Amino acid sequence: RPVIDLADCIPVDSYEIPERHRQRVQLRDHTCRFPGCTVSATRCDLDHSVEHARGGPTCPCNLVPLCRRHHRAKTFSLWRYVTIQPGHYLWLSPNGRHFLVTPKGPRVLDTPRPLDPDDY
């Protein structure tokens, strides 16, 4: 097998994702990038982070593995994410919670805490 450069980001002109791009994304992200999901990237859809119809390129830096359930949640509900850099994603839940998903795993960014009257 040839060596695969995970930093390679050469776009193609079509919406269809070439196998070489699919392999790079699967090797980079390993699992579905929804917070807490552990479905293998080899079993995931690849989502264009910036929609192809809106000018988003078909290249590894704009592709994110999402299992079918979470791909549908992103497409048909109010779950949203942005790619900070390839492999690092900021998710926004329908109720306004923020999650940072990195190679080290997901992290809640805005954990609510009870109000302490002594703080005021």
- Identify the pLDDT of residue 36: 96
**Number of domains the chain contains:** 1
- Identify the pLDDT of residue 113: 59
| Residue 1 resides in a domain | no
| Residue 10 resides in a domain | no
- Identify the pLDDT of residue 45: 97
- Identify the pLDDT of residue 29: 96
| Residue 92 resides in a domain | yes
- Identify the pLDDT of residue 111: 64
Q: Give the chain's residues under pLDDT 50.
A: 120
| Residue 72 resides in a domain | yes
| Residue 26 resides in a domain | yes
Strand partners for 89: 83, 101
| Residue 87 resides in a domain | yes
Q: Rounded to whole angstroms, how far apart are CA atoms 81 and 34?
A: 9
- Identify the pLDDT of residue 112: 61
β-strands 45-48, 80-85 pairing: unpaired
Q: What are phi and psi of 13, to 5 degrees?
A: -80, -5
What is the domain range of residue 71?
A: 19-119
| Cα dihedral 66/72/75/80 (nearest 10) | -60
